[in-house]
């Protein structure tokens, strides 16, 4: 898509990864790129781009906390569940 403008391609890749980091599903990212660019990227392509972040995420998760902290911030993921009674 950006053969002459390598920086634009890198910025675009970073924007796709940022969408996933911010919680947009890989499938939704593919839909968004279709609307914005007129071309689609498969969820597998978006996933492959984001796999480049795996080492950085692991390094961050393994980073020791060297100080004491007065509070902790917790985050959660909410899943909707429908219970069916038989």
One digit per residue, pLDDT tens: the chain, 86 residues?
545 555 567 788 888 888 888 888 888 888 888 888 888 778 788 888 888 788 888 888 898 888 887 887 888 888 888 878 87
Spell 70-81 as b/e; 16+ CB within 10 A means b.
Answer: eeeeeeeeeeee
Which of 40, 21, 19 has its CA nearest to residue 31? 40
Residue 82 lies in a domain: no
Q: What is the pLDDT of residues 48-72, one digit of tens each?
A: 888 878 888 888 889 888 888 788 7
Residue 46 lies in a domain: yes
41 with 35: CB under 8 angstroms? no
% of residues, the chain, pLDDT over 90: 1
Rounded Cα distance between 70 and 60, Å, is 21
* Structural domain that includes position 30: 23-60
Residue 53 lies in a domain: yes
Residue 36 lies in a domain: yes
Q: Which two tokens stand for residue 57?
A: 């995420």
Number of structural domains found in the chain = 1
Residue 2 lies in a domain: no
């Amino acid at each position: 898509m950006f053969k002459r403008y390598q920086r634009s391609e890198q910025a675009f890749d970073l924007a796709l990864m940022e969408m996933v980091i911010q919680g947009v599903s890989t499938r939704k990212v593919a839909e968004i790129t279709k609307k914005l660019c007129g071309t689609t990227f498969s969820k597998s392509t978006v996933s492959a781009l984001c796999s480049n972040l795996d080492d950085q995420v692991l390094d961050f998760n393994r980073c020791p906390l060297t100080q004491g902290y007065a509070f902790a911030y917790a985050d959660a993921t909410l899943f909707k569940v429908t219970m069916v009674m038989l």
